[in-house]
Structure 1
């Protein structure tokens, strides 16, 4: 009977080891859960970026307004019939009379 009790204790310890340290342990499950959450957050960010890019592509395909806006802001372009005014602020070094 004593050997049976020792075997039961050893079996219990073996099961506890697998629960806490072995394959499929609680620590591994927790680590994998954290990895899944990080991946979901990254997927959300990428989905938002893709939606913004998709909207920009649709704007560029639909008309010239988006192309014109981009040319004005990024390249500083103006139309032929427009006048360009550049306002220059005086230097802030206080060296004027």
Structure 2
């Protein structure tokens, strides 16, 4: 009878070890949930960035003035009838 109790205690301990430490344990599940939450936050940031880029692309496709403004700001382009002044800060 005593060996049966010892056997049952050992089995319960083994199950507890698996529950807390092994594959599929509480620690692993918690870690995976945390990783999922971090990935969802990153995905939300990337989705917002993609939406801003899509809006910019739509704007550039639909409005010629947007393309002109971008060329002026990024490339320093000017029209034939304009005078370009470069102001340097010291």
Query: Same fold by TM (over 0.5)?
Result: yes
**Bigger Rg over Cα:** 1
Q: Distance in 2 between matches of 1:47 and 1:18?
A: 39
Deviations 1:31-60 (A, max 9, x none): 111211221121012101101110011001
Are 2:17 and 1:53 aligned?
no
1:77 aligns with 2:77: yes
Give 4+ residue runs of structure 1 displaced > 4 Å after superposition: none
Determine which structure has the larger helix proportion and give its number.
2
For structure 2, which runs of at least 5 residues remain unmatched after alignment?
none
| Count of matched residue positions in the alignment of Structure 1 and Structure 2 | 90
1:1-97 aligned at under 5 Å gives the runs: 1-88=1-88
Q: Which runs of 5+ in 1 are unaligned?
A: 93-97
- Counterpart Cα distance in 1 of 2:28 and 2:14: 17
The 2-side partners of 1:42 and 1:16 are apart by 35
TM-score (norm 2): 0.88
1:17 shift after superposition = 0.7
